[in-house]
Structure 1
Amino acid sequence: LAALLAPGNFIVMGAALLLNGFAVAPTLTAGLAAAERSVVEKRKTEVLAWAISALNLGGALPPAITGYIIDTQGVSVAFVIPLVCMSLSVVMILPYLNIWREKVREIPA
């Protein structure tokens, strides 16, 4: 969004990325804590390993795919890719939202 609102302004882009960075750490912490608390004690290592593996895969594949799309379709398409990915993420998580809420309610504080 910052790139569309202020194209070529690196200060605006840097500020937007800084704000985005502030959101990443709490999101990762909360996500890993929820994953850890949602399983029995003997499964915690496995669930955290899967979560970290998914994070690594999610960090490795998108740059390669986006690079290919930019090379074949052009740079302007690159701004649509995050929107599509976020939308797909929301659609994919919706079926599990009620299950997650129930698991979180069962967890003692």
Structure 2
Amino acid sequence: MFSAMLNCLGVDMGSSQVRIYQRDKVILEEASTAVVDNISGQVLGFGTEALILYHKEPENNTLEWPVKNGVIADYDMTKAMLRFFLNKALRRSVSRPSLMVAIPT
């Protein structure tokens, strides 16, 4: 049972930040935002990367929050954001972890 606990991640999906925990420490903490190109509607990045891209060209991009007031406002964007954050957090992992996700209520 202890080895199963080593391969578990906790995801705290908040309206303003997403935190990913492994054991008792935070392994990723990012803003829960996405930057979208105004012309094509394509998502250009998530989290800190999204904030940087937006501030470089605010007239060409829009910031979106896939989770608003504790509710998933855009399912597809939230799914893509979580996938991006999990890949970023697990960049050196060789196995797939078990996930526990908490969202605000």
Q: Is the structural similarity TM-score above 0.5?
A: no
Structure with bigger strand share is: 2
Rg comparison, structure with higher value? 1
Structure with bigger helix share is: 1
Bigger relative CO (Cα 8 Å, ≥ 6 apart): 2
